[in-house]
Amino acid sequence: MTRLHLIHPMGVTAIVIAIGCGGKPAPATAEGDAASPTPERVQLAQATAGSATITGRALFQGTPPAQAKLKMDADPVCQQQHATVHAQEVVVNNGGLQYVFVHVKGGLEGQPFPTPTQPVVFDQRGCVYQPHVLGLQVNQPLQIVNSDPTLHNVNAKPKQSTSFNLAMPTKGMKITKTFAKPEVMVPVKCNVHPWMRAYIGVVAHPFFSVSGPDGAFTIAGLPAGRYTLEAWHETLGTATETVTVADGQTQSVSFTFRAK
């Protein structure tokens, strides 16, 4: 895996499992307002907040592989929602690589960061996971939503936290889960619809990003320091760069991936 120089901008068990895994689907969790921060949490946030920013792009070098068309005809509900849907493993636009998880891997050791109470939403819409790649902090709520009028199951297989396999049979159903320890990455799949796959990056701090359609990412609010950044892609591997930023400064780092 080769890298470019410094830039940065910044699934469920099958129907058989849903029926025979023993246990009912986890109850829906009502979405509530985030709790008001305590004075201690405010003080902690102020102590750890910074003004440095890292921006950049994830890049793909070479000819990107053709995106396979997903076959959804096994479920008429899924089939009727799309004319064409393509796999999301390698998505390249004008050289920019989408769905790369970029996070600070080193340089923040020993620094505490408050856990956000605002949930990250992970939706099942159109029989695909949205988003395909996402990140959240340790113990931050992950609100899993089924927006489709068909059965899904969410089969998450972390190695550092408790795994779960949730049947979500009804449209509008919501379940909230958390991850107790950092892990990059946690795979998620749906055994009912085997084309549905996603990845969740769990980190101990708020300094992460996922590259957009043009490959761009941004990590803001960093304290001044020297950091090791890691960029992860589901099929192309990982790359790292080291960058030093001062208060109020913006540095750039880019990561270049090539087909294996």
Tell me the pLDDT tens digit for each residue of 244-256: 999 999 999 999 9
Task: Give the residue among 135, 129, 132 at the shortest CA–CA distance from 152.
Answer: 129
Write phi, then psi, for 187 (nearest 5 degrees): -80, 145
Q: Exposed, middle or buried: residue 77 (CB in 10 Å: 0-12, 13-18, 19+)? A: middle
**Does pTM top 0.85 for this prediction?**
no
Q: How does the average pLDDT of the chain come out, rounded? A: 84
CA distance 258 to 185: 20
CA angle, 73 then 78 then 79, to 5° = 45
Specify the range with the lowest mean pLDDT, choosing from 75-89, 92-106, 107-121.
75-89
E strands, 17-161, are 52-61, 92-93, 96-97, 101-106, 120-125, 128-130, 133-137, 142-146, 152-156
User: Residue 168: CB partners within 8 Å, gap ≥ 6?
Assistant: 12, 25, 124, 144, 146, 151, 152, 153, 154, 175
pLDDT at 78: 87
- Pinpoint the residues of the chain covered by CATH 2.60.40.10: 1-10+47-74+83-106+207-260
CA dihedral 3, 135, 205, 114 (to 10 degrees): 170
CB 25 within 8 A of CB 167: yes
Return the number of other C-beta atoms located less than 10 Å from residue 1's C-beta: 14
Specify the range with the lowest mean pLDDT, choosing from 23-27, 91-95, 188-192, 202-206.
23-27
Confidence band for 9, pLDDT divided at 50, 70 and 90: very low
Predicted confidence (pLDDT) at residue 225 exceeds the cutoff of 70: yes
Residue with tokens 């895996």: 1
Predicted confidence (pLDDT) at residue 3 exceeds the cutoff of 50: no
CATH topology of domain 1-10+47-74+83-106+207-260: Immunoglobulin-like (2.60.40)
Across the range 214-241, mean pLDDT stands at: 97
Predicted confidence (pLDDT) at residue 32 exceeds the cutoff of 70: no
Residue 95 region by backbone torsions, left for phi larger than 0, else alpha for psi between -120 and 50, else beta: left
Residue 7 region by backbone torsions, left for phi larger than 0, else alpha for psi between -120 and 50, else beta: alpha
CB 152 within 8 A of CB 190: yes
- Pinpoint the residues of the chain covered by CATH 2.60.40.420: 114-204
CA distance 245 to 165: 41
pLDDT at 15: 33
Specify the range with the lowest mean pLDDT, choosing from 38-42, 150-154, 176-180.
38-42
CATH topology of domain 114-204: Immunoglobulin-like (2.60.40)
